[in-house]
Amino acid sequence: MSTAADTAVAAPTTYEPVIGLEVHVQLLTATKIFCSCSTRFGAPPNTNVCPVCLGMPGALPVLNRKAVEFATLAAMALNCQINETSIFARKNYFYPDLPKGYQISQYDKPLAEFGYIEVQTLNTGGTEDHREPHKDLPRKKIGITRVHLEEDAGKSLHEGFPDSDEKTAIDLNRTGVPLIEIVSEPDIATPDEAYEYLTRLKEIILYTGVSDCNMEEGSLRCDANVSVRPRGQKELGTKAEIKNVNSFRFIREALIYEIARQVGVIEAGGKIVQETRLYNAYEGKTYSMRSKEQAHDYRYFPEPDLLPLVVDEKWKAEIAKTLPELPEARRARFVREFGVTEYDAQVLTVSKSLADQFEAAAKAAKNPKRVANLVQSELMGRLKAKGVSIEQSPISMKGVAASADLVESGAISGKMLKDLYDLCFERSKDFAVVYDEEGRPQQSSDTSALEKIIDEVVAANPRQLEQYRAGKKTMIGFFVGQVMKASKGQANPQLVNELLTKKLG
Ligand SMILES: [Zn+2]
């Protein structure tokens, strides 16, 4: 009999997982999608509600223009085609936190379709960090089936009240908050690729500014559909849906577990049932929650209280104007313009605000490439050693730019810069502050002062002088080093070199 561990190892060779992801993203509008209630997170329960979002009889929804613009912008950033006309539909189901008994969503005519996200394919064979993109592997497009607009449901609170063991409390503040649902094609081949897809997706959405993608507050939620099939088989296996996993890491873990479970069931002669499963992060296992509904269970029909949504060419063009440069394009440009490595471009574009800071600093500096070089050669290593992200760096991008200018103008030497950076990290202070605290040190370009030091150094090392004069010209390095040391690292090394060469003859 094969054990679970055997099948987990066997899975990659004999079985092929097929994964599709559904991501819900909350849009950052000030008000809800069909009423003027606030969307603010953390308000006292059931205070951001009105007859419309409570689903009172006769209350009519009015579509929020900003929600449409945000959804369209996100869809454009995901390379989707925007449908000029899309239709809202009622998705009927009963749930205690869904007071209307239906959710207004979009069904057969969604806002946008046929998009994609490009991901770096990953080396999953070895023991390398799964997030480290493998440079030689090709990039892959993961299709996006659709992006549609819908309203969120409320929240059931199962804990935190004295009678929580008998009762469930309901908070309807979230009811009617605008969401987009982003549905991928089943193009994702591994849990690592799912992780990469989600990382890129979140990054793109954050760049557009339409959501804060805060997973703790539920602004980004992900469900995964996963099935396995014998490698080479065309027909898809029966899928299970894993619901509401609250981090990308857990999605990856849940998929790894679920793939091995499905392979195990099939290998043992069993059949996969279509169902919804929940992931228990503590145990690292998925559990059956309920049999999966089919689309026809929802009795979708066009929402009679809303007109078809029309995003015409003119409106589309206006929205397109607000589309920022997206992370992928920006990375390529950073590599091109600033000569940074692809890896560093990735780090520098991890958030739009960091990329903006870097670019502003680099462009304001005398030599933008030097700023990029300092980030790579002096900043990254120190951050890594300290185990902090670049966004928590004591030295700001402005600080890097200021230090780059000091080196550029010859005011400080590379050695002095290194020492100042060390002090910044020790004191957790930005460059400008530490530079002031240290009395704004300058490398010495005072020729007469340097000549005095040189005379002393030469006089103190007659043996080395003899060797130099006997033809061992590399001894110059020794003298430069001694002079630098005597000047406490503050001499301009180039000038020292010149003066020494002249002096030694
Ligand atoms: Zn309302």
Q: What secondary structure, in 3-state letters, does 402-435 show?
A: HHHHHHHCCCCCHHHHHHHHHHHHHHCCCHHHHH
* Contact (CB, 8 A) for 117 and 201: yes
* Contact (CB, 8 A) for 168 and 156: yes
Cα of 37 from ligand 1 centre, angstroms: 4
Cα of 299 from ligand 1 centre, angstroms: 25
pLDDT tens digit sequence for 15-37: 999 999 999 999 999 999 999 99
pLDDT-based confidence at residue 45 (cuts at 50, 70, 90): very high
Distance from chain centroid for Cα 438: 37
pLDDT tens digit sequence for 160-179: 888 888 988 999 999 999 99
Closest alpha carbon to 28 in 2, 67, 64: 67
pLDDT tens digit sequence for 399-450: 999 999 998 888 888 888 999 999 999 999 999 999 999 888 887 777 777 8
Residue 248's contacts (CB-CB under 8 Å, 6 or more residues apart) are 195, 198, 199, 202, 222
Instruction: Check pLDDT > 50 for residue 489.
Output: yes
Sign of the Cα torsion 258, 264, 270, 271 reads positive
Cα of 103 from ligand 1 centre, angstroms: 14
d(CA 241, CA 291): 10
Cα of 90 from ligand 1 centre, angstroms: 18
- Count CB neighbours of 460 within 10 A: 11
Instruction: Check pLDDT > 70 for residue 200.
Output: yes
Alpha carbon separation from 432 to 34, 91, 348, 400 (Å, rounded): 50, 58, 21, 9
How much is the pLDDT for 381? 86
Instruction: Check pLDDT > 70 for residue 7.
Output: no
pLDDT-based confidence at residue 185 (cuts at 50, 70, 90): very high
Cα of 35 from ligand 1 centre, angstroms: 5
Of 107-111, 147-151, 392-396, least confident by mean pLDDT is 392-396
Of 1-5, 161-165, 363-367, least confident by mean pLDDT is 1-5
pTM, entire model: 0.78
* Contact (CB, 8 A) for 199 and 180: no
- Count CB neighbours of 409 within 10 A: 10
Sign of the Cα torsion 488, 492, 497, 503 reads negative
Alpha carbon separation from 135 to 138, 190, 200, 341, 470 (Å, rounded): 8, 18, 16, 12, 51
| Matching residue, tokens 């002095």 | 416
Cα of 53 from ligand 1 centre, angstroms: 4
d(CA 307, CA 295): 23
- Residue 433's identity, in one-letter code, is V
Cα of 179 from ligand 1 centre, angstroms: 15
Cα of 52 from ligand 1 centre, angstroms: 5
Task: Count CA atoms within 13 Å of residue 120 on its CB side.
Answer: 18
d(CA 246, CA 203): 17
**DSSP designation for 131:** T
Cα of 95 from ligand 1 centre, angstroms: 18
d(CA 195, CA 202): 11
pLDDT-based confidence at residue 5 (cuts at 50, 70, 90): very low
**φ, ψ dihedrals at 408, nearest 5°:** -60, -40
Average pLDDT over residues 375-398: 88
How much is the pLDDT for 248? 93
Using DSSP, how many helices (H) and how many strands (E) does the chain show? 17, 16
Cα of 312 from ligand 1 centre, angstroms: 28
Cα of 47 from ligand 1 centre, angstroms: 10
How much is the pLDDT for 380? 84
Of 88-102, 204-218, 330-344, least confident by mean pLDDT is 330-344
Cα of 332 from ligand 1 centre, angstroms: 44
Adjacency order of strands within the sheet including 102-106: 102-106, 88-92, 301-302
Cα of 325 from ligand 1 centre, angstroms: 35
Instruction: Check pLDDT > 90 for residue 102.
Output: yes
Residue 429's contacts (CB-CB under 8 Å, 6 or more residues apart) are 394, 423, 437
As given in the structure block, the two tokens for residue 412 are: 């400080």
pLDDT-based confidence at residue 135 (cuts at 50, 70, 90): low
How much is the pLDDT for 495? 81
As given in the structure block, the two tokens for residue 213 are: 């993608």
Cα of 27 from ligand 1 centre, angstroms: 16
pLDDT-based confidence at residue 311 (cuts at 50, 70, 90): very high
Closest alpha carbon to 226 in 180, 270, 277: 277
* Contact (CB, 8 A) for 91 and 298: yes
The beta strand positions in 304-449, using DSSP E, are: 309-310
Of 51-55, 123-127, 218-222, least confident by mean pLDDT is 123-127
End-to-end CA gap in the chain = 85
Average pLDDT over residues 278-306: 84
* Chain mean pLDDT for the chain: 88
3-class secondary structure, 267:
helix
Cα of 64 from ligand 1 centre, angstroms: 12
Sign of the Cα torsion 412, 415, 419, 422 reads positive
